[in-house]
């Protein structure tokens, strides 16, 4: 698998992936006050096999309702996204506005309205400024460009400190297939809404059923395995589009030639985006990978990993560079996860700090402290209770998280 | 029900409840470095009906194992508690040390060893300094005093900023019955361990079965309804002792005369302690009561209340005095709790900020902001999905929480 794929430079700023047949744009239409880009559009010049995964929250925004319903057909061609206001908890007006956004895009693109998906991210409970979107969406269609993906990545940001792009190129038979994705931010909710949005585009030829399968598997292992504060946004959306322009033999299922390469490329893009999202969590000073092994079953492995990743005590300890295995074991126990303390092992940054039922001692502690100063840290916990494993990405809990989420002017 | 009960002053410092037949002490035996009290003992001069509720964590300290086993008999007479080191994750040595603590107390008290319960709170994974306890426990027995409960309350503290005592007096027939309790701190785990310990003493005459029933009900509604950071300590312990010295007719069950008054007094003491614990959560600037109504069932009511109470986003918003109903509904939805947005209502400090599917507007927002400045705040959420309700006490998430848990010298 090659990284970088077909790419070129825009304005000397960033390497840009080009996926055949896709064009993108990002611009400021007036939702955000300070002139930052707040409207993104990505469109394919041909119909795509498409799939989506969405928030499992019982409170969802109108854009999620509409996109979930449309993408169930397995077909789509474009996605229009605004940032700044999330269009959540707005009742009938929210539904009208979401539909109006896709209609503005489909008219300007000249495609069926049902082929356009939509997402919104930002403040909950405020109405979208539709007059601005009525001007902005046609302008975004005019601005579409093969090199526009970085602009789109920037236009979907909320509290993200930088745009997130990832891409891969793989061979499928004689064809070169590209997969490129953009994503935005972690942390949650109004007013510093940080819904996870991830949009992945490929020129692979694949059936809608296989596209759905590939996206679900990739999201399950990557986008669904990041956490900043244990919250799930009302607007989380991940979409995968495949327009077939690469000319490969159509991927119909896991036994199709090249299916594994394509699935691997999509998972690779999603993993790279997921790690960027966790590292850029609100106020985060480091990326933390939590690996749990030796759990009694998959559910307990996941629960242990999520408890550790979401524990305020573990996260503040990581910020404080404190190799605090006591907090790690405590939160696993609090999650009622089976473990055998005598066989439990905790490694921090590769240093064993707890084993055989006891601390590994002050020298190990000091070595681990040094490792915790890095901007990327691994927590490995072996529970000694079975064979199941899981992995979650997260970040530490810092003063800046509190500042971002407590101190702002309403 | 009277508050204050039989009491007198010690050293002009604090009103002290006296429960007939109970004596208490708290002193420094050398576990904590700065000379603060770190050893508490409370003993009855007669055998007691006794009951305990303990952490449900799968990682528990040796003192929890021992006390859980002993109190199952329904009989006990004393409890010995150290703070500073929790005696967790110490294997066979931890079990030996916990048993040695009770044996030191039982010998000096002259009672069966099985009548002594034990608890420890503090750093996980360090050994208890048994030489200090061998001198300290007999000294604590010598120091036992009817007015010693405030000293005991102080000696069980870890990151608590003040000792916590509560008491009640009730009439049962001709008898005056006293109930007094002490408790310590919230937040969790090593090194700023903040296990919840609560010990309640009464001179009521009651059967072990009824004492168990009263404690379980009281703890379920109060001590099990507080949260600072969603963690459960390895050492959480609540004990209720009743020695019969008040001379009331023995309470055998809920239909005994005076049973309701006694249960109410115990619940009242536990609730007062629980509220003190939540208000004194690590770094907390305010006590927050979360009330959920209109849930589909009791499980969802509790889940919604706990999600709100543990949400880092809600807690930082409370610290920032931000009437952020979006974060509240978001975390309820993320918990997959059923709600009908059109019938959902959110009140903050008594001000309705969300109803009929929409914000109650900027004027309500401003009024709620003012209310959120108080040091005690109520969040009321009606879900519009059923009739179940629940209530949880918590506190806000502040810079000080991060400081306490991230910045210390190991």
Mean pLDDT of B155-175: 93
B398:A399 CB<8 A: no
pLDDT digits (tens, 9 = 90+) for B231-258: 667 788 999 999 999 999 999 999 999 9
pLDDT digits (tens, 9 = 90+) for A99-134: 999 999 999 999 999 999 999 998 888 889 999 999
Task: Give me the interface pTM, i.e. the ipTM.
Answer: 0.71
* The predicted structure's pLDDT at residue A330: 87
- What is the domain extent for residue B391? 287-406
* The predicted structure's pLDDT at residue A189: 38
> CB of B362 within 8 Å of any CB in chain A?
no
For B357: left if phi > 0, alpha if psi spans -120 to 50, otherwise beta; the answer is: left
d(CA B207, CA B209): 5
CATH number of the domain that B397 lies in?
3.10.20.340
Tell me: pLDDT of B9 over 70: no
Where does the pLDDT of residue B6 fall: very low under 50, low under 70, confident under 90, or very high at 90 and above?
A: very low
Which residue among A227, A260, A279 closes a domain? A279
**DSSP 8-state class, residue A375:** S
Quick one: A125 and A43 in the same domain? Answer: yes
Mean pLDDT of A80-93: 89
CATH number of the domain that B200 lies in?
3.60.70.12
B residues 336..355 contacting A (CB < 8 A): 336-339, 341-342, 354
Number of structural domains in chain A: 2
Quick one: B109 and B207 in the same domain? Answer: yes
d(CA B5, CA B203): 12
Quick one: B247 and B331 in the same domain? Answer: no
Where does the pLDDT of residue B190 fall: very low under 50, low under 70, confident under 90, or very high at 90 and above?
A: very low
Which residue among A229, A245, A279 closes a domain? A279
* The predicted structure's pLDDT at residue B301: 97
Quick one: B292 and B387 in the same domain? Answer: yes
Residue numbers in A near B58 (CB within 8 A): 332-333, 336-339
Quick one: B82 and B129 in the same domain? Answer: yes
Quick one: A26 and A129 in the same domain? Answer: yes
Quick one: B196 and B313 in the same domain? Answer: no
Residue numbers in B near A357 (CB within 8 A): 89-91
Which of helix, strand or coil describes residue B336?
coil
Number of separate helices (H) and strands (E) present in chain B? 11, 17
Quick one: A253 and A345 in the same domain? Answer: no
> CB of A375 within 8 Å of any CB in chain B?
no
Quick one: A80 and A206 in the same domain? Answer: yes
A231:B189 CB<8 A: no
* The predicted structure's pLDDT at residue B407: 64
Residue ranges of E strands in A11-115: 14-17, 22-27, 39-54, 75-85
B residues 41..60 contacting A (CB < 8 A): 56-60
* The predicted structure's pLDDT at residue B56: 83
d(CA B140, CA B43): 11
Of A234, A319, A330, which is closest to B234 when you measure between CB atoms? Answer: A330
Within 10 Å of residue B63's Cβ, how many Cβ atoms?
32
Question: Tokens in use for B177?
Answer: 């019955």
B residues 173..212 contacting A (CB < 8 A): 187-191
d(CA B167, CA B381): 31
State the pTM of this model: 0.80
Identify the weakest region by mean pLDDT among A178-182, B91-95, B172-176. B91-95
B residues 213..252 contacting A (CB < 8 A): 229-234
Quick one: A43 and A136 in the same domain? Answer: yes
Quick one: B220 and B76 in the same domain? Answer: yes
Higher pLDDT, residue A53 or B357: A53
Minimal C-alpha gap between B180 and chain A (Å): 29
Quick one: B10 and B100 in the same domain? Answer: yes
**DSSP 8-state class, residue A248:** P
Where does the pLDDT of residue A410 fall: very low under 50, low under 70, confident under 90, or very high at 90 and above?
A: very low
Minimal C-alpha gap between A237 and chain B (Å): 14
Mean pLDDT (chain A) is: 89
Tell me: pLDDT of A24 over 70: yes
d(CA B331, CA B321): 18
* The predicted structure's pLDDT at residue B186: 64
d(CA A38, CA A123): 13
pLDDT digits (tens, 9 = 90+) for B99-131: 999 999 999 999 999 999 999 998 888 889 999
Which residue among A258, A279, A300 closes a domain? A279
Mean pLDDT of A271-286: 88
Tell me: pLDDT of B1 over 80: no
* The predicted structure's pLDDT at residue A15: 67
């Amino acid at each position: 698998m090659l990284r970088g794929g077909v790419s070129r430079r825009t304005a000397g700023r960033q390497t840009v992936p080009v996926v055949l047949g896709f064009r993108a744009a990002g611009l400021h239409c007036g939702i955000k006050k300070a002139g930052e880009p707040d409207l993104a559009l990505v469109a394919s010049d041909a119909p795509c096999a498409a799939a989506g995964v969405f928030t499992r929250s019982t409170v969802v925004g109108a854009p999620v309702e509409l996109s979930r319903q449309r993408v169930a057909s397995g077909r789509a061609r474009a996605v229009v996204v605004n940032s700044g206001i999330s269009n959540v908890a707005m009742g009938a007006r929210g539904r009208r506005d979401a539909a109006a956004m896709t209609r503005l895009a489909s008219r300007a693109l000249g495609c069926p309205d049902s082929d356009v998906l939509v997402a919104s991210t930002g403040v909950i409970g405020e109405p979208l400024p539709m007059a601005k979107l009525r001007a902005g969406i046609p302008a975004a269609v005019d601005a579409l460009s093969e090199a526009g993906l970085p602009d789109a990545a920037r236009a979907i940001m909320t509290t993200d400190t930088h745009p997130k792009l990832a891409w891969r190129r793989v061979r499928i038979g004689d064809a070169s297939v590209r997969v490129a994705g953009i994503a935005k931010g972690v942390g949650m909710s109004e007013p510093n809404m940080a819904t996870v949005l991830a949009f992945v585009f490929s020129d692979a030829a694949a059936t809608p059923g296989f596209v759905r399968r590939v996206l679900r598997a990739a999201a399950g292992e990557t986008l669904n395995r990041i956490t900043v504060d244990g919250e799930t946004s009302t607007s989380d959306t991940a979409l995968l589009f495949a327009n077939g322009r690469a000319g490969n033999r159509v991927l119909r299922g896991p036994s199709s030639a090249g299916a594994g390469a394509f699935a691997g490329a999509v998972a690779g893009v999603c993993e790279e985006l997921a790690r960027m999202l966790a590292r850029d969590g609100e106020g985060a000073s480091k990326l933390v990978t939590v690996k749990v092994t030796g759990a009694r079953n998959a559910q307990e492995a996941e629960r242990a990993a999520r408890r550790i990743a979401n524990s305020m005590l573990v996260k503040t300890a990581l910020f404080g560079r404190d190799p605090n295995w006591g907090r790690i074991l405590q939160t696993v126990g609090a999650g009622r996860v089976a473990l055998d303390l005598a066989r439990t092992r905790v490694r921090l940054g590769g240093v064993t700090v707890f084993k055989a039922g006891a601390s590994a001692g002050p020298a190990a502690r000091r070595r681990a402290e040094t490792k915790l100063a890095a901007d990327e840290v691994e927590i490995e916990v072996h529970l000694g209770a079975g064979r199941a494993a899981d992995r979650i990405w997260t970040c530490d809990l810092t003063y800046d998280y509190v500042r971002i989420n407590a101190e702002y002017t309403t």
